[in-house]
Amino acid sequence: MINITLPDGSQRSYDKGINAYQVALSISEGLARNVLAAEINGEVWDASRAIQTDVNLKLLTWNDDKGKATFWHSSAHLMAEALEALYPGTKFGIGPAIETGFYYDVDFGDREFSSDEFKKIEEKIMELAKAKSEFIRKEISKSDAINYFQAKGDEYKLDLLESLTDGQITFYEQGNFTDLCRGPHIPNTGFVKAVKLMSVAGAYWRGNEKNKQLTRIYAVTFPKLSELTAYLELLEEAKKRDHRKLGKELELFTFSEKVGMGLPLWLPKGAMLRERLTQFLQKAQIKAGYEPVITPHIGHKNLYVTSGHYDKYGADSFQPIKTPQEGEEFFLKPMNCPHHCEIYKTKPRSYKDLPVRYAEFGTVYRYEQSGELHGLTRVRGFTQDDAHLFCRPDQVKEEFKKVIDLVLYVFGALGFENYTAQISLRDPENKTKYIGSDENWQLAEQSIIEAAAEKGLKTVVELGEAAFYGPKLDFMVKDAIGRKWQLGTIQVDYNLPERFELEYTGSDNQKHRPVMIHRAPFGSLERFVAVLIEHCAGNFPLWLSPDQYIILPISEKYADYAKNISNSLNNYDIRGLIDNRDEKIGKKIRDAEVKKIPFMLIVGEKESEEGLVSVRKHGEGDLGAMSMEAFAELIKKEITI
């Protein structure tokens, strides 16, 4: 008999050789039907693989990330089976699961391939899925494996085999298809109930452009047809919310090839929006005891040699700028931290002076490959809402609590209600790879865990995810359509204080190193605005909206009256514009809806005679006629910040 420990700590005894599926069946039939694979002592196994010793076991279903990954990777085998059936002679590279499904890199030989063939392949996949072919694991010797793929003429699998050791090689077979794979897989192809081929792209074998370019087919599968339908709807909705599309329609930002790739140009409306965000945070930060500082866009090479960035990233960053006379080397600033360390050093610090909090909306430049650039989320120049806190080890918890307050204030004001936090700690098995004393690490980790708990954050703790220089807390927000984004980081750093020899005098009159904390609630303004646009679909909270109203005169006769209204709303600090175009009122309303302007004020004969405005709210419709004072009141009420 062997003992199997389940995640809730309960233990069950079974005969040696039992598998995870049978364990599930002994619990409930419904559970067994949904088991895709199992985590055995932290490693994912086939649900059908025999267990010979006492183990910890977690059954994996579609609701577990690892279960989903197994499902999608198995679907890659299924797609390969379909491709081999439809296009005999196809050779196969690799077929991993990715975050949104899976792909397979294939060599069709001289055959032309396009997305026109997707439908045919999808049909074949579903036909093979219905056969419910089991995924059968076979241990195989290296020479037999080589013989198999030599006979098949698949040079890619032979290439993969070269780096594998005899005794560790497994084949998986389902239906008429055999693949070199270490597994694991789902029990049988029948679990796949829906498939969609998403796109096709070129991909060099092993990512090396000297090798042959293969065809990469991206696809996604689901255990229920309704899940595919919901997924496709989500993609449709995401397309409508794409910040690159809305950024253009709302005239917020643009890119110019002449200026350079990945360097956003903020248009007037976008610049004002960004300015409002900056002011909003600046105000909150000053209240929380931060002091603004300003540092240049470039820094001397020696600064980055000291910080360690030069050694680590120098070769992969924008190359240095040289002064013509002195031949000095400067780098575009990739981060603000080293500059802030130098500011800390400008005077002696006592334990009573700490914490010191320096904040800067600092623009930094990082080289990204052109293919990696994406709208405002991956750029080459961006502005961090950066701050560095220098404190004593015993102040870490209090500082974390204050930063968490600030982050939650920001999320609340911008309508992010759904968030979690990830706490990244040391790998307890491998403490030597981290810089800083064991005592300080323990204190900092404990401080972060307690601060998060006291602030009521929903957290997950990840061991071994900390940077070598300190533990951290990251916020993950879920947007309005359920997508997750990482925003806001609070990171402890023992490295830079060491490298810059930062000090304070303790109550014992001895010199000590302060703890440095990096933090950025937005992350960067660019990325944050992108996430915000996609979250609210361009319908910004009223306080942030570039224009809060637009006046729509029914004809040019009412242009003066419109001007009067706009002047008096100005006095109330309410901002907007007038649509004086010679267009029908219906068209003006439609255009204002596209621009997502929160309020439309229609003025014609009746309104001008009675001193009123007829108010329409974006997405809601007519609110009736009201006085200017009543409208101003309405706006003030909506602005809760």
The active-site residue out of 124, 243, 349, 388 is 388
Select 491 or 608, whichever has its Cβ closest to Zn ion: 491
The nearest distance, CB 353 to Zn ion, in angstroms, is 20
The active-site residue out of 518, 535, 595, 596 is 518
Is residue 366 part of the annotated active site? The answer reads yes
28-37 contacts at long range (C-beta below 8 A, 24 or more positions apart): 31/59, 34/61, 34/62, 35/59, 35/60, 35/61, 35/187, 36/60, 36/61, 36/62, 36/67, 36/70, 36/71, 36/186, 36/187, 36/191, 37/66, 37/67, 37/70, 37/184, 37/185, 37/186
Distance CA 28, CA 11 (A): 16
The nearest distance, CB 317 to Zn ion, in angstroms, is 16
Is residue 340 part of the annotated active site? The answer reads no
The active-site residue out of 58, 157, 274, 472 is 472
Select 94 or 552, whichever has its Cβ closest to Zn ion: 94
The nearest distance, CB 77 to Zn ion, in angstroms, is 5
Select 38 or 592, whichever has its Cβ closest to Zn ion: 38
The nearest distance, CB 340 to Zn ion, in angstroms, is 7
Cβ proximity of 575 and 598 under 8 Å: no
Residues 6+ apart with CB under 8 A from 336: 295, 360, 362, 364, 384, 386, 388
The nearest distance, CB 403 to Zn ion, in angstroms, is 13
The active-site residue out of 366, 380, 402, 426 is 366
Distance CA 561, CA 372 (A): 51
Distance CA 509, CA 614 (A): 71
The nearest distance, CB 336 to Zn ion, in angstroms, is 6
Select 334 or 538, whichever has its Cβ closest to Zn ion: 334
The nearest distance, CB 296 to Zn ion, in angstroms, is 16
Chain-centroid distance of CA 560 in Å reads 49
Q: Is the dihedral of CA 302, 303, 305, 309 positive or negative?
A: negative
Is residue 518 part of the annotated active site? The answer reads yes
CA of 3: how far to CAs of 52, 54, 473, in Å? 10, 5, 37
From start to end of 514-559, where are the E strands? 515-520, 549-553
Is residue 384 part of the annotated active site? The answer reads yes
357's enclosing H/E stretch is strand 356-365
The active-site residue out of 174, 384, 395, 491 is 384
Q: Is the dihedral of CA 600, 605, 606, 609 positive or negative?
A: positive
Q: Which amino acid is at 616?
A: R
**Interface residue list for Zn ion (CB under 5 A):** 181, 337, 518
Is residue 239 part of the annotated active site? The answer reads no
Task: Characterize the bridge pairing of strands 515-520 and 599-603.
Answer: unpaired
Distance CA 313, CA 323 (A): 21
Distance CA 234, CA 379 (A): 25
Alpha helix ranges (H) inside 242-300: 243-249, 268-287
The nearest distance, CB 641 to Zn ion, in angstroms, is 27
Distance CA 243, CA 486 (A): 16
Is residue 388 part of the annotated active site? The answer reads yes
Select 313 or 572, whichever has its Cβ closest to Zn ion: 313
The active-site residue out of 46, 105, 107, 386 is 386
Task: Characterize the bridge pairing of strands 418-425 and 459-463.
Answer: parallel
Q: CB nearest Zn ion: which residue?
A: 181
Q: Which amino acid is at 87?
A: Y
The nearest distance, CB 70 to Zn ion, in angstroms, is 9
Location of structure tokens 């105000």: 283
Cβ proximity of 280 and 409 under 8 Å: no
Select 518 or 588, whichever has its Cβ closest to Zn ion: 518
The nearest distance, CB 118 to Zn ion, in angstroms, is 22
Chain-centroid distance of CA 275 in Å reads 24
Beginning with the edge strand found earlier in the chain, give each strand of the sheet holding 170-174 in spatial order: 136-139, 170-174, 177-180
Select 181 or 487, whichever has its Cβ closest to Zn ion: 181
Is residue 374 part of the annotated active site? The answer reads no
Select 397 or 518, whichever has its Cβ closest to Zn ion: 518
Token digits of residue 203: 């991909």
Whose CA is closest to 360, among 379, 333, 378? 333
Select 145 or 181, whichever has its Cβ closest to Zn ion: 181
The active-site residue out of 124, 216, 337, 616 is 337
Select 336 or 548, whichever has its Cβ closest to Zn ion: 336
Known catalytic residues are 337, 366, 384, 386, 388, 472, 518
